[in-house]
Structure 1
Amino acid sequence: MALVAAAHAQETAPRPLPPEVVQRDGQPVARADFALQGRAVQGGVLTGLAPARTVALSLDGMPVPLAADGRFLIAFDRDAAPQATLRATRADGSDILHRLTIAPGVWRIERIDAPMRPTRSTAAFLALRAPELERIAAARTIRSDSQGWRQSFLWPVRGRISGLFGAQRVYRGEPAAYHGGVDIAAATGTPVRAPADGVVILAAQAPFTLEGHLLMIDHGAGLNSAFLHLSRIDVTEGTQVRQGQVIGAVGATGRATGPHLHWGMKWNDARIDPLPLAGPMPR
């Protein structure tokens, strides 16, 4: 596991982005193409620099936040289509297109020779769950000007990775829901630290039915983190947090079989894998 993660981190190690103006035949010329860092893969993230004089950016028609210096971040859902198109609109009205080939993710798939057991939510559960889902959806609409998305992410907790993003069971050909984050096994009370700068967009001091004490942080550029099953939350909504700051503690609240941290990440509506962003788990 550690060797695979290390190889993947080396493969996606960031390289310096080219400048806005480049030299061509000894003369300065405004750069007229995208510069991208990372690997276009399902569940993955790319950062980049837009062509010079870009005023608007989109991915398959969806607007992409563009920083004043031309930097941006895009990501791909666990089940993203194999092709995507970046479009930069320049000040003169011209468009520059960059077509991306999205590599398939490698997920841990467990095939079970048994039928999937049906689940049924009670009216009482749905009555509790509806307002929780509304709060989560409302939190994800909040957009801060945080620059955390530019940082190299840290692991919020160090420990054994007990659950992988994208893992899924298939019951006689019928797929169950896949795992939407990374689980890190740790003792109750272990401090949880902010993996990058951000703004707290949800802090559930009263535990949610499934997530328990849920904390969500917006890192800017449409990127956010969710931390589930906490035993406590040490920050409040609207608070700006810094990378490495203690934000809560590991627990087993909500629907959890034991103490661990579930770290989920999304870019807009795309669920992404935190592991490539944080790199190999430190020993």
Structure 2
Amino acid sequence: MRYFRLIFAFITIIVTSLPLAALASYVVESQALAQGGFIKGKFNGCVEVTVVDGDKKYVGKCTPQGNFLVGFGRDAQVVQKIIFSFADKQDYMAVVELEQRQYKTDRVNGVPQKTVSPPKEVLDRIKGENEQIWLARNKHTDSFDFLSEFIWPAKGRISGVYGSQRIFNGVPKRPHFGLDVAAPKGTPVVAPASGIIRLAHKDMFYSGGTIILDHGYGITSTFIHLSKLDVIEGQQVKQGEKIGEIGKSGRATGNHLDWRINWKNVRLDPAFWVKAGGNE
């Protein structure tokens, strides 16, 4: 395995021990080098890319042209290893240093108690819905839509941010992995990038009206708490096309869109994917 070290500090890149031929073919196109962030780039000849986060490994494919995207979770270790594999069995390993983030704590009161601590009779339903979500996010599609520049899926006030720890009715719950846009019921939700609808469910226990949009190569957008769905599973949609409407279905106390982005099962921060202020 060839080894090279990438130390990212803002936009400064220092590369050592990388053969010149490989260095010339390695290009970073966009990146957010922080927990919840990503690297989108191109490495000619790459067929597979693996992120090693401590004892966890996440594997993705490169496009035939060598385009790749890797992501880092909310609590990813500051030092990440990225291994690029090639058809000739040669590997290159990069070491990337991430910004460690501090997350806010949100206290949300008034949530129906049955959704904070769901009764036993709905546990099978929740398990089944989680399986549907997992399957939708783990379909491999040879679509290059993830390479496009994403747009905001809705207009409105930012009411919740990625990574925050939510405490419902005084009970600490899982961190929030989405970006919340508050707006009146019925406000249009559009596709931030083109893709295929992998899940269109009108009433999930936690997330209510839910859509999962596949942008290719493991990148998906999820839209939850919708009041209306305008798409069906298997449908191809274009960037900017209306797919649903904002609501407060599922576990929600007000009308808003909860937008999430995944690289397979790694949860990423949608705020890194769009231009600031585009929601206004």
TM-score over 0.5 for the pair:
yes
Q: Deviations over 1:178-236 (max 9, x none)?
A: 1110111111111110000111010003x111111111101112111111111111111
1:250 paired with 2:246, answer yes
Q: CA 1:89–1:130 in structure 2 vs 1: closer, same or farther (change >3 Å)?
A: closer
Contact 2:32 2:272 in 1 (8 A): no
Q: Which residue of 234, 259, 262 maps to 1:266?
A: 262
Structure 1: unaligned runs, 5 residues or longer: 1-10, 13-23, 112-116
Larger radius of gyration: 1
Aligned to 2:212: 216
Aligned to 1:188: 185
Give the drift of 1:109.
3.5
The one-letter code sitting in structure 2 at the alignment partner of 1:184 is: V
Contact 1:155 1:281 in 2 (8 A): no
The one-letter code sitting in structure 1 at the alignment partner of 2:256 is: H
Q: CA 1:103–1:127 in structure 2 vs 1: closer, same or farther (change >3 Å)?
A: same
TM-score for the superposition, normalised by structure 2: 0.81
Q: Which residue of 267, 272, 276 maps to 1:276?
A: 272
Q: Which residue of 33, 38, 41 maps to 1:40?
A: 33
Contact 2:45 2:65 in 1 (8 A): no
Aligned to 2:73: 77
The CA RMSD measured in Å over matched residues stands at 2.6
Q: Deviations over 1:10-47 (max 9, x none)?
A: x78xxxxxxxxxxx9xxxx6655632231321001210
The one-letter code sitting in structure 2 at the alignment partner of 1:162 is: S
Aligned to 1:155: 152
Sequence identity percentage: 35
1:103 paired with 2:99, answer yes
Number of residue pairs matched?
Answer: 250
CA distance in 2, matches of 1:175, 1:233: 31
Aligned to 1:238: 234
Structure 2: unaligned runs, 5 residues or longer: 1-9, 12-19, 108-112
Aligned to 1:59: 51
CA distance in 1, matches of 2:266, 2:222: 13
Alignment of 1:138-177 (within 5 A): 138-169=135-166, 176-177=173-174
The structure with the largest strand share of the pair is: 2
TM-score for the superposition, normalised by structure 1: 0.80
Q: Deviations over 1:67-108 (max 9, x none)?
A: 111111011000111121122233443322111112212422
Give the drift of 1:122.
1.6
CA distance in 1, matches of 2:79, 2:182: 36
CA distance in 1, matches of 2:34, 2:22: 29
Give the drift of 1:110.
5.8
Moved more, 127-136 or 70-79: 127-136
Tell me, what secondary structure is at the counterpart of 1:80? coil
CA distance in 2, matches of 1:157, 1:193: 6
Aligned to 1:201: 198
Q: CA 1:231–1:58 in structure 2 vs 1: closer, same or farther (change >3 Å)?
A: same
